[in-house]
Amino acid sequence: MVGRAETARLIAVTSAASPPPVRRPALFLDRDGVLNEDRGYVHRWADFSWIPGAKAAIVAFNRAGWLVFVVTNQSGVGRGYYSEADVLRLHEMMADALLEAGGRVDAFYYCPHHPDAAEPRYRHPDPPDRKPNPGMLLRAMAEWPVDVARSLMVGDKDGDLEAGRRAGVRSLRFEGGNLLEFLGPELPKLTSGDD
């Protein structure tokens, strides 16, 4: 039987062991066209090619204490071109390559749904996770301690930028080139909280 003193100590230990999480800025990255060359429905490692500076950009944001998320529409699943297992396998290979470079993606979010999906289980008239809807970003914000005001969404399409705006995240369009060079000027500004 636990007495009052033991109960109080137990509560104090439990409270001290679980402080509120520190909110951190997050870098939300579209995948195809931002992290890898967009060759259309990329789902095999053999077809995957990193954008120059992509791994280095992720490592830089990791070192600055940011959370890093990939948020990607993968309608090729719903269209029957490849499976969710293919998406997961590719993301695992990306994670392994990043680990070798000293970096990490904290979570991969993908949306296999599409209004015209061939498979009924992936068909939805307006999938909440499919960009330009903000569902994937909002899910990450619910699951992780994200400081929304200091976060950033990077995409190469209007839908990516719109998803960021709808989630309350500043959004930048990446039009190609070296991702680290593109994001480099943003890192100190966003990390310090200055605008």
What ranges do the domains of the chain cover? 30-190
Tell me which residues are annotated as active site. 30, 32
pLDDT digits (tens, 9 = 90+) for 111-152: 999 999 999 999 999 999 999 999 999 999 999 999 999 999
Average pLDDT of the chain to the nearest whole number? 90
- What gap in Å lies between CA 13 and CA 6, rounded to an integer? 10
DSSP state of 21: P
H or E stretch covering 98 = helix 84-100
Superfamily of domain 30-190: HAD superfamily/HAD-like (3.40.50.1000)
